Amino acid sequence: MKSRPFIDIRSFPQRGIALITVLLVMTLCSMLLGAFLVSHRGFIVAFRGGQDRDLISSLTKSLNEYCRFKLEEDRTWGSSFSSVKVSVVGNLTIRELVTDGPVSYLEGRCNSSGASFSVGLTNNLQSDAAGFDNIPPRACQLRIVVKKGGVQGGAVTLLQRAAFFDSSAVASEQIRVDSNYISLESRDPIRNQIRSLGSMELGRLKNRSNRDRYRFRPNEETLNSSRGTVWAQGAINLRDGSGASDSLEEAANTTGAQWIDQASTHYDIPQLTLHDLDVAEDRRPLSIDPGTYMFTRSPLLVRMQGSSEWITLNTPIPMLEHWEGDYKASNIEEVHFLEADLRQAMRNQGLDPLFRADVAHLEQPGTPVRSRYFVEDNFPLQEGMRINLQEKRIVIDADRQATVQGDFRVGTDQWDLVPELNFASVTDWSKRGTLSATGDLTIQGRVKGVGNLLAGKNLTIAPNSVDQDASDDSNIALFAGNDVTIRPPSSAWIPSEHVQFRGLVYAEKNFHFQAGWAAERRQTLSIEGALVARSGSINISDANETRLIYNPEFLEDLLRRWYDERSQVELISWRPL
């Protein structure tokens, strides 16, 4: 006899009970799971949403960086895609779509996360005018849309060409400005700043006349929220000679600018060499003998033909002396004067002006000098370089690139003469004359016109008169492999008040400006462009006003080649979608 099991699953009722039991257990489990999920739903949704948002945020930044990189490679990228091009960058598959309209598009997908994206690209980097949809000049707008699951995000970003030098004044070491007024101005739409990798000594907020010392004037046409920035990696001291000082907080409240001291941000000042500066290739070379070109008035000695006696002409003759080496008599190389002046001096002495005579310099009585006398003033010393004795002016033609192998100096030994170096390009700013010397370059007088003064070593401008009206017809850029020194006259009788440069003023080491007549402080130093002391300091003393005007356009004149080659693009604004 077979024994019966306790539960015989083959019997119908018991199988039913088993099924119901299983279902009950499953239902219970489902309810437990459901309750768990319901209670955690909020968190799961929030967590997953947070993950998606993180992903979208990261992807948006990556796409912005990708486009920035592409634009740095080629500033015209995205202006117009002529064919579909697919590229894989890391986890991203990016497809450039054929452009149909002012906006170009990228589409793609993140292979690891499954997120999809599109980028609308309006490239206006190469234009100096506002573009489609009011995109600012030299800017590119990106509209980045990223989708992941049901979440969508992204940003509208604006990228812009970065400036080569981004400040009106920048120095590796101290910036010291001793001036009644300090104006920081800018023609750039977003920047108005000075930077020092060292410290700054700038004077108190009120000057000696109890007036506001600081004037921040950003570009009024493109107002923004920043009046300006004074930035230093060292201390910024706003103090006077007595040691009394103002705080940077007071300065910020008074001026509306940002005053940032002890800054720890990395900042580089780009280095330039003489060869980096842009000189148009169509300029004809002009080789100038090194030495000193001295405007003076001096008696000459003449020896009438057939006579052995040297006669000193008592009437001083305006002349240009050319010295080589040190300023001593034996180094006189040439003298240049007008024939009419010589004849008049001979006539004054009772000599026959038409009689042929040898000429000697007073300093070298027994030796006839190489002398060249010209019938008319404004005579060519050599092709591309003219001399105007009446105006005490050396004129270098605008289409010339003048080079000097050694030192070059223009000066005078007469207190009432004001020599002038002139780049004859006043009417056409696109034509910049260039005078470069491999050694020191010294101009003891005015510099006018539109041109570049480039010195392999030191560059000194010490005018015994300065630009009276600071008119807009001068545009001079300075470069020195060592120091740039500007030393205006200190004579009280000089009526002028302005020393002005437009363009880049670059000193590989230090920049010095020592205004004259410290007691009255009447002179204004104005530099429109950028003032750079790459590895040294900026020292401005005893000026009435120091105007540092940042104008990137003037920099481009000199650095066009750099702008073409070095196409940095920077983020200007970021708007969430």
Partner 1 sequence: MRARSVTLAGYTLAESLVSIFAFVFILGSVFLLFSISYRGFVLSQTRQDIQNEVLRARQWLEQDFSLTHLGSIGILPRQTSSYGESVSRDAVCALSVSDWSDDGNFFSTGLPRWNRYVIYYATQESSGRLIRQVIDPQGMDPPLIIRPYPKLYSVQPIESLDPTEIVSSRQLASDVVEFNCRLDLREQSLWQILKVRKRGGRATQGLKQTDQVIEATFRWDPLNTAPRL
Among residues 53 and 566, whose Cβ is nearest to partner 1?
53
With CB under 8 A as the rule, give the number of residues binding partner 1. 45
Q: What x-and-dash track marks residues 122-141 binding partner 1 by CB under 8 A?
A: --------x---x-x--x-x
- What phi-psi label fits residue 82: left (phi over 0), alpha (psi between -120 and 50 degrees) or beta? alpha
Q: What is the largest CA-CA distance in the chain?
A: 171
User: For 115-211, where are the alpha helices, taking DSSP H only?
Assistant: none
Among residues 69 and 574, whose Cβ is nearest to partner 1?
574
Q: Rule CB under 8 A: is residue 33 a binding residue for partner 1?
A: no
Q: Rule CB under 8 A: is residue 231 a binding residue for partner 1?
A: yes
Q: Which of residues 169-208 bind partner 1 (CB under 8 A)?
A: 189-191, 193
Q: Rule CB under 8 A: is residue 46 a binding residue for partner 1?
A: yes
CA-to-CA separations, 373 to 338, 339, 343, 392, in angstroms, rounded: 5, 5, 11, 15
Q: Rule CB under 8 A: is residue 572 a binding residue for partner 1?
A: yes
Q: Rule CB under 8 A: is residue 222 a binding residue for partner 1?
A: yes
Instruction: State in angstroms the smallest separation of the CB of 213 from partner 1.
Output: 19
**DSSP letters for 238-253:** EE-TTS-EE-HHHHHH
Q: Rule CB under 8 A: is residue 575 a binding residue for partner 1?
A: yes
Place of tokens 């003298």: 335
Tokens of 430: 């696109």
Q: Rule CB under 8 A: is residue 47 a binding residue for partner 1?
A: yes
Among residues 31 and 46, whose Cβ is nearest to partner 1?
46
Phi then psi dihedrals of residue 67, to 5 deg: -65, -40
Instruction: State in angstroms the smallest separation of the CB of 134 from partner 1.
Output: 7
Provide the β-strand partners of residue 395.
386, 422
CA distance 455 to 511: 13
Nearest to 161 by CA among 482, 570, 573, 485: 570
User: What is the CB neighbour count within 10 angstroms for residue 105?
Assistant: 18
Among 2, 4, 10, 266, binds partner 1 (CB under 8 A): 266
Among residues 190 and 533, whose Cβ is nearest to partner 1?
190
Among 58, 118, 127, 229, binds partner 1 (CB under 8 A): 229
Tokens of 363: 């300093």
Place of tokens 């630009």: 467
Among 3, 39, 83, 308, binds partner 1 (CB under 8 A): 39
Q: Rule CB under 8 A: is residue 42 a binding residue for partner 1?
A: yes
Pairing of β 370-374 and β 332-338:
parallel
Q: Rule CB under 8 A: is residue 325 a binding residue for partner 1?
A: no
Pairing of β 524-533 and β 498-507:
parallel
Q: Which residues bind partner 1 (CB under 8 A)?
A: 39-40, 42-43, 46-47, 50, 53, 57, 130, 134, 136, 139, 141, 158, 160, 166, 189-191, 193, 222-227, 229, 231, 252-253, 256, 258, 260, 263-266, 570-576
